[in-house]
Amino acid sequence: MGIGQTLVRLRRKGVYYYLYFGWQWLPFQKYLHGRRRPSEFLFRGKRIRYFYAIYNRTWMNERAVEIPIVREFVEQERGEILEVGNVLSHYFPMNHDIVDKYEIGKNVINEDIEEYASSRKYALIVSISTLEHVGFDEGIMDDDKIVRVFEHLKSMLTPTGKIIASLPIGYNPRVTRLIMDKTLAFSEVYCFKRVARGSLWREATFDEALDMPYGQSHPGTGAFLIGIYNAGRIPASTNLEVDRENRWSNRL
């Protein structure tokens, strides 16, 4: 990035954005954050500890919340597990199937998830901030690919299986729209928003999450959602107001 581009970004996002980014980047911030209060966040009424790791500097972003939530589902599952996008193995030893189109790693199947075929059925399929890239960051835009992939994942579940997926709000507006109109029909939807001008997070309504623009005041997302699909369950309602839904439509 040239000096001119840097100055343009500074004017648009403000000096605070870059001071925050530079300060949080320092590895010792992991330990400073670990001593701060609160050290836990709430998810479905349960207190869960933030997850801080030097890889990907999780104290800076939504990984601090996504990883402990998804990991808990993985640890509780005794059946077959599939992970879409290689994330968890960067932090913990994992023995489940992992499909990642690009990243090379141990036990990682380098295949497009839309084309992935398995003879087994999965009790749990998890994906951490990956599905928003499907059909969006693959060279050729394909707005319908995420829908096909979601249906494909559902077809690989056992009759009582689950899909747990985290998705940043605002990165790919098309995905947000598909969740709102229930084309991507999760049984349960939980949203988180960044608070206190830092890397603390709290549960929020879908409406509140939509008000957090992607990459404006902080690097990365200001809000994300955890979508849970239970085979056989009725899709969730996002309970959005009509005027907010129309306003979001104008962004697409």
> Which CATH number goes with the domain that contains 88?
3.40.50
Cα distances (angstroms) measured from residue 137 to each of 89, 143, 171, 211 = 22, 11, 11, 24
* Chain length of the chain: 252
Domain range for residue 110?
60-249
- The reported pTM is 0.80
Q: Is residue 125 part of a domain?
A: yes
pLDDT tens per residue across span 105-162: 888 999 999 999 999 999 999 999 999 999 998 888 898 999 999 999 999 999 999 9
Of 27-31, 111-115, 132-136, 194-198, where does mean pLDDT reach its minimum?
A: 27-31
Q: Is residue 144 part of a domain?
A: yes
Tally the domains of the chain. Answer: 1
Domain contains 4: no
Do the domain assignments include residue 209? yes
Whole-number Å distance between alpha carbons of 78 and 85: 21
**Going by DSSP bridges, is the β-strand pair 40-43/46-49 parallel, antiparallel, or unpaired?**
antiparallel
d(CA 204, CA 193): 6
In a domain, 52, yes or no: no
Kindly state whether residue 235 falls inside one of the protein's structural domains. yes
